[in-house]
């Protein structure tokens, strides 16, 4: 509740001329670059609130002032849709991603498959009950009949970026993160790409209580443009449709 109140205090002070965007932490680098290009070309100022999709969805449901929501999975958007907190006609699956296993840059570990995770002492993932990257990771490990044996090694984090930082800081031997997060770090390397992992979709939608619905729709249109697509791809995302 304290976090929700903080978001209210910070974002409620923003101007109606601003577009308030709540977005999954894994989108931080790409969206920051896209917003800079958008503003440079005359678009309204974009104010971001980055975090776990689950946390952001709860904040929106509690009434936090958001104009546009970008989630790292469809379930959080489904939940908000069921509570009539988004405009269904604006919903679109914007991007796709993939899961990878990262280790410290100087680590000698060789991973040929997901089963090699059993050799690690600690593995960081997003909180597997709420954070999309963690949910995806758990689903994949369950399909491989590995979750129960690996669960004691897991270090759950508040969002996928925190899992990446755990490896960067030496607090975990490995992490399961998005491919795009791995590209953003110079202190880790990708030891294995989970090619047969779950389908990962990033939906976006204008919120039902948007104070700047017009600005949110225009920015969403820009996110679907060729110019934004170039930036998304450079950050490792797959642009849908």
pLDDT of residue 3: 47
Do residues 25 and 127 make contact, with C-beta atoms less than 8 angstroms apart?
Answer: no
Q: pTM for the complete prediction? A: 0.89
**Domain assignment of residue 24, given as a range:** 2-96+202-239
Same domain, 154 and 177: yes
Same domain, 19 and 92: yes
Same domain, 114 and 182: yes
Same domain, 46 and 112: no
Question: Which pairing describes strands 46-51 and 19-24: parallel, antiparallel, or unpaired?
Answer: parallel
Q: DSSP assignment of 167-204, as one string?
A: HHTTS-SEEEEEHHHHHT-SSEEEEEE-TT---EEEEE
Same domain, 138 and 181: yes
Same domain, 92 and 9: yes
The pLDDT > 90 percentage for the chain reads: 91
Question: Tens digit of pLDDT for each residue in 197-214?
Answer: 999 999 999 999 999 999
Same domain, 134 and 50: no
> What CATH number has the domain bearing residue 120?
3.40.190.10
Residue with tokens 């709420």: 130
Count of structural domains within the chain: 2
Same domain, 225 and 214: yes
Cα distances from 55 to residues 5, 100, 158, 187, 208, in angstroms, run 13, 23, 9, 27, 18
Helix (H, G, I), strand (E, B) or coil at 93: strand
């Amino acid at each position: 509740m304290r976090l929700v109140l903080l978001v209210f205090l910070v974002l409620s002070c923003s101007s109606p001329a601003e577009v308030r965007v709540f977005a999954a932490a894994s989108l931080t680098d790409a969206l920051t670059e896209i917003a800079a290009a958008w503003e440079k070309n005359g678009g309204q100022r974009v104010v971001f609130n980055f975090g776990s999709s689950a946390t952001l969805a709860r904040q929106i449901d509690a009434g936090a002032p958001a104009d546009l929501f970008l989630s790292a999975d469809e379930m959080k958007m489904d939940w908000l849709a069921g509570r009539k907190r988004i405009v269904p006609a604006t919903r679109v699956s914007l991007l796709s991603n993939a899961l990878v296993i990262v280790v410290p840059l100087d680590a000698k570990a060789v991973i040929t498959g997901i089963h090699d995770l059993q050799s690690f002492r600690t593995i960081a993932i997003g909180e597997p009950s709420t954070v999309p990257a963690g949910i995806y990771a758990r689903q994949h490990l369950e399909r491989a009949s590995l979750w129960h044996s690996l669960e004691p090694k897991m270090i759950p984090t508040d969002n996928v970026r925190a899992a990446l930082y755990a490896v960067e800081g030496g607090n975990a031997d490995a992490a399961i993160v998005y491919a795009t997060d791995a590209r953003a770090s110079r202190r880790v390397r990708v030891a294995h790409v989970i090619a047969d992992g779950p389908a990962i979709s990033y939906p976006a939608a204008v919120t039902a209580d948007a104070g700047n619905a017009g600005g949110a729709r225009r920015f969403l249109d820009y996110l679907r443009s060729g110019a934004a697509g170039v930036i998304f791809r450079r950050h490792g995302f797959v642009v849908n449709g």
